[in-house]
Amino acid sequence: MAHFDENAKPFSNRWLDDRLAINTVKKVLSTEYWIPKNINFLWAMGMVLAATFGLLVVSGIFLLMYYKPDINMAFDSVNYTIMTEVGYGWLWRHIHGVAASLVFLIIYIHMLTGIYYSSYKRGREMIWLSGMLLFIAFSAEAFSGYMLPWGQMSYWAGMVITNLFEAGSLELTGLVEWIRGDYVPGDAFLLRFFTLHVLLIPLVIMGLIVFHFATLRIPHVNNQDGEDIDFDEAARLYKEGNKKESKVIPFNPVFLSKDVFVLGIYFILFFYLVFYHFDFAMDPVNFDPADGLKTPPHIYPEWYFLWSYEILRPFPKDPGLIAFGIAQIAFFLLPWIDRSPNVAPAHKRGLFFWWFWILVLDMIALTVLGKLPPEGIYNTLGTISAIIFLLLGPALILITKLEKKL
């Protein structure tokens, strides 16, 4: 048995430290969690994501108090009860909708930052993989949430996406019906996606966020120059008071103060969108109640799924599904497709720099084309962009094999 100080006042610092080692925990997780000094605001995106997820949970709980998961009541419970009768219901709904959209914008920025600075390899593979799992979990969360208002787009996007499980010419209609719980999306469908959205997936996400944070602790975050820092040495310098010479800063309070400032700026943008420009996050088509007899003229997913939708669409059924499948797992493989020994920002990595910007532009092109009707020139451009995306994988292997060690 450890030594306990009998005179410590209950719940005093000493008393708690004897029992919970709070001083050690505080050091490990905050005051002596060393962060490189040489980083920019892009390294605050993780915190921005965590905060946005927090907002999603809180606003979601308020919506849950009035939402009715029943195909005859869902639409009106959202559009009438919450928007009209519940005090500030509209505020929670718009916060939830805008946050669901912005969280993906930030996730993409966060991922592309990781790619630009080579933060996914040489010891950081687990950070990357846990991040990708978060991306998948968030995608599932967003899709299931989109079903809940039971508008036209909920219904038809639900129809189209679940149809993918038919797996092309394998014609697994039984699987599709099993997923839907019916021949077409209906009450069983809505209720199960509701359960996933409000219970299971959020739990998974919370677990994954903890895991993602844990994967960061030992490799530490990367920095703007990809420099391999000796954290013990740098921490020693810092603690001795040589703050200028030291290459690191403690997470709390030094890095945190910057995170909080970035959060402040982000929330100005966030609430500007919530109050004055929420429509980008709430498709007008979904304000028509679901009608299984009336197919909307254009069916498209939310913007953050468009790039992978556009990899599916231009090809014939089976090749399209295979391409789509590749797109879903491609980013998981990144740490192994990249064969270069260098951890450095893209502008120091020769051809990789060009590869990175082609990736960004191609994904934006796919996103825009995914929304446009697949006709004429848009169809051609869509096919080209999708092929470029698929070729970027092999191209990366080649480029990085040729890359010289810095």
Partner 1 sequence: MRELKILAVVVFFALLTYYGVEPYAHSVMHKDVEGYNFTYDGTADIQEATEALEEAQASGRNVAKAQARLEVKKAFWSEVDKIAKIPGNVANGQAVFGTCLACHNGAGVNMGGVIPPNLDHAGALYDKRYLIAVIKDPAMASNVDHKYENTMMHPMGSVTAMVSDPQQIADVVAYMLAKKAGDVTPKAAYEEACARCHAMRYSKITQLGETPSFTDEKDELAYKIKVLQEQELVEAYMGKLPPDLSMIIRARSTHFLETFVENPQSQLEGTSMPRVGLSQAGYDKVHEYLTEIGDPSKKHREALGPWVIGFFVIFSILAYLWKKHHWRDLH
Residue 134 binds ligand HEM, judged by CB under 6 A: yes
Residue 201 binds ligand HEM, judged by CB under 6 A: no
Say which entry of partner 1, ligand HEM, none residue 114 contacts (CB below 5 to 8 A, set by partner kind): ligand HEM
Size of the site for ligand HEM (CB under 6 A): 27
Residue 116 binds ligand HEM, judged by CB under 6 A: no
Give 34's strand partners: 250
- Angstrom CA distances, 180 to 92, 143, 329, stand at 29, 14, 24
Region 76-95 residues binding partner 1, contact defined as CB under 8 A:
76, 79-80, 83-84, 88, 90-91
As to burial, measured by CB atoms within 10 angstroms (0-12 exposed, 13-18 middle, 19+ buried), residue 90 is middle
Q: Closest separation between CB of residue 84 and partner 1, Å?
A: 5
Beta carbon nearer to partner 1, 80 or 178 = 80
Beta carbon nearer to ligand HEM, 102 or 312 = 102
Q: How far apart are CA 32 and CA 235, in angstroms?
A: 8
Classified as helix, coil or strand, 240 is: coil
Residue 313 binds partner 1, judged by CB under 8 A: no
Q: Closest separation between CB of residue 176 and ligand HEM, Å?
A: 28
- Angstrom CA distances, 288 to 94, 149, 155, stand at 18, 10, 11
Q: Closest separation between CB of residue 146 and ligand HEM, Å?
A: 17
Say which entry of partner 1, ligand HEM, none residue 280 contacts (CB below 5 to 8 A, set by partner kind): partner 1
Of 71, 86, 132, 312, the residue at the interface with ligand HEM (CB under 6 A) is: 132
Beta carbon nearer to ligand HEM, 180 or 258 = 258
Region 13-42 residues binding partner 1, contact defined as CB under 8 A:
37, 40-42
Residue 276 binds partner 1, judged by CB under 8 A: yes
Q: Closest separation between CB of residue 206 and partner 1, Å?
A: 26
Tell me 301's DSSP state: -
DSSP for 350-384 reads: THHHHHHHHHHHHHHHHHHHHHS-S-HHHHHHHHH
Q: How far apart are CA 318 and CA 298, in angstroms?
A: 22
Q: How far apart are CA 329 and CA 347, in angstroms?
A: 26
- In this structure, are residues 301 and 158 in contact, taking their beta carbons and an 8 Å threshold? no
Q: What is the torsional sign of CA 138, 143, 145, 146?
A: positive
Residue 367 binds partner 1, judged by CB under 8 A: yes
Q: What are phi and psi of 350, to 5 degrees?
A: 60, -120
Of 34, 37, 46, 238, the residue at the interface with ligand HEM (CB under 6 A) is: 46
Beta carbon nearer to ligand HEM, 145 or 185 = 145
Q: Closest separation between CB of residue 56 and partner 1, Å?
A: 17
Closest of 200, 46, 199 to residue 130, by C-alpha: 46
Q: Closest separation between CB of residue 298 and partner 1, Å?
A: 5
DSSP for 19-79 reads: HH-HHHHHIIIIIT-EEESS--GGGGHHHHHHHHHHHHHHHHHHHHTT---STTTHHHIII
Residue 353 binds partner 1, judged by CB under 8 A: no
Q: Catalog residues that contact partner 1 under the rule CB under 8 A.
A: 37, 40-42, 76, 79-80, 83-84, 88, 90-91, 105, 109, 243-244, 249, 253-254, 257-258, 260-261, 263-265, 267-268, 271-272, 274-276, 279-280, 282, 284-285, 287-289, 297-298, 303, 306, 360, 364, 367-368, 371-373, 378
